[in-house]
Amino acid sequence: MHFVHSPIRSAYINYMVNYYMTVISTKKVKIYFGDATDIIQPAPYAHTDHGSSSHILTLAPYNKLTTYLPLQNLLFLQQTHSTTGYTIKQDAPLPSPFSLIGDFLITDKPHCGIGVLAADCMPIAYYDGAHNIIALAHAGWRGSVNNIAQKTLQQMMRDCGTRPQDCTVWLGPSAQSCCYQVGPEWVDSMPEHIEEYVTKRDNSWYFDMPKLICAQLLAGGITPQAIQLDCHACTMCNNSMYHSHRSHKERAGRQMTVMCLE
């Protein structure tokens, strides 16, 4: 099964690089949703203290990025499936890339790229058009069950005065309910309300992470029409074009999502 973009499904999409890698471009904000051509492979010798392997960011994808995004800086995180993140204010000193530990970044700084790396986890990109604030979160099952979608929004509200009704939110590619199989012991270990987001087919259980994240965003005050799904392909169905941790196991690479303000 292939996710197919209709030519124009959103006024925000100015151009599509191909069916998978997508660049969203408005006057104020640019978002790059990458694919398997982002050559970010696990470094087998490098493991962080948090048990997850660290990744080498080669120059090739960075050069590619700068053709689409007006970047002066580029920050990634040491992602840990947490629900914590950082707000990088325009007048504060910039941290060094990969120095911060967490799973979301918020900034008001023009030309400062904020990025997450994922392979089945979902990148969630926020834009507050009233205050010109961007945020980018990384959500796997832990992050989504622990509501990183709303926690990112709450930090935007607290640190930047964001109002949910002013935000547009793009959901990036991730594992979806067609493929995201979970075991019965996983289902049993979840809080009760998560059952609503698990479906049973052919004696197997499947987690609908995008549905959970949408519900959390709506409960947080994001309007339904502000949730953009154009870039929302299943990384497992399309695992020849996306890095997919569940499909490729330990040799899975990571695709980048990077956004910045003009």
Q: Which residues bind Zn ion (CB under 5 A)?
A: 176, 178-179, 234, 236-237
Q: In the bound complex, what is the minimum distance in angstroms from residue 20's beta carbon to Zn ion? A: 14
Rounded to the nearest 10 degrees, how much is the dihedral formed by the CA atoms of 230, 236, 238, 241?
Answer: 100
Q: In the bound complex, what is the minimum distance in angstroms from residue 199's beta carbon to Zn ion? A: 13
Q: In the bound complex, what is the minimum distance in angstroms from residue 1's beta carbon to Zn ion? A: 7
Phi-psi category of residue 113: left, alpha or beta, with phi > 0 → left and psi -120 to 50 → alpha: beta
Angle (nearest 5°) at CA 11 between 122 and 1? 45
Residue with tokens 């990109």: 125
Q: What are phi and psi of 206, to 5 degrees?
A: -130, 135
State how far the Cα of 181 lies from the Cα of 178, in Å rounded to an integer: 8
The smaller minimum CB distance to Zn ion, of residues 69 and 179, is found at 179
Q: In the bound complex, what is the minimum distance in angstroms from residue 237's beta carbon to Zn ion? A: 3
The smaller minimum CB distance to Zn ion, of residues 1 and 130, is found at 1
The smaller minimum CB distance to Zn ion, of residues 29 and 209, is found at 209
| DSSP-derived secondary structure for 69-120 | S--SEEE-EE--S-S-EEEE-TTSPPPPTT-EESSEEEE--BTEEEEEEESS
The smaller minimum CB distance to Zn ion, of residues 126 and 242, is found at 242
Tokens encoding 33: 């949703």
Q: In the bound complex, what is the minimum distance in angstroms from residue 178's beta carbon to Zn ion? A: 3
The smaller minimum CB distance to Zn ion, of residues 83 and 238, is found at 238
